[in-house]
Structure 1
């Protein structure tokens, strides 16, 4: 007997089901919502086809018409591109009747809200704070070109130093030069190289 898990219970509980793909397809939800949204945004089929090309979707005006009439449906990738093209922040869920809510503003009011949003974005005064990468301070440090042995072997000698740039935070206080280590007897603190 198969043990029921919480996930299994979630998937079979009919009271939680709010979407029916067959019913949505039969009533052409996606096509109707797409047509209405495209028209509200002022795009003809030809203009919308050209707009979608900028988002990597090569579809003719006739192809869009087929989507809107329910003869075919856009792929999920095409639907995501449509969301970007029409500035639909809600994503593909927008194209379901369950998601659609009654408009609190008429078309003119909705356009004014969209214009105001674009004005705020264009002003660049209300952008989210971008996380700036931490600045790393570098210093020039002489490093011996010949690796030294981390076990039995070679002594540090000679004047074969080269100047390299290293992060200041990786240099211990009072250090005057760096060395390359060869061997593993000082691991895990120092590694070969």
Structure 2
């Protein structure tokens, strides 16, 4: 007796109005391969079922059991949304609510496409070099709160720094803003913000056998050795940059 899957395979092809070649092209079999399935000489594999589901929207449950509709029913939108919502935590749902409120306002005011909607985040942005040699860099003044597209700001950054000069080209350019996570230690090779003898710097941190160096990516600039008598502080680690303005 021919396997039920083989019988349903032939029934499916005829119901779809497809030739053996069309079905074969979709699941990677020759005409004779399809013919062998339909005559029971070849088994229907797991892979065949998945490919038929993808290519022709075939209901896998029907294919395996003969129950229900041959073609997958369009899913109920409310059920789908409910399943989706269950995967979110409270913080994500709060963000969704904010987004939906803004989209609704945009719709109500009919100002145009809502596709241009983009979330922004705010970070305090400081300037380099630091406070004219006073060593007071990042101590709570001389910054501007700026808004950025959410997509460009690393989530766990705490502030931005607008850099000056070309010592970190070609990676960081004059007037770029780098996003920094405030932290007192760095690992070898990290890009960071530092205060050395009262001046602020964007450099690469290098740990040496006898101390530390601050490295410029632009080889026109010499390395800065941190010696025992230096007033040196690690401000934080650079997580990303913004060259938008």
TM range, smaller chain:
0.3 to 0.5
Give the TM-score taking structure 2 as reference length.
0.36
- Which of the pair is proportionally richer in helix? 1
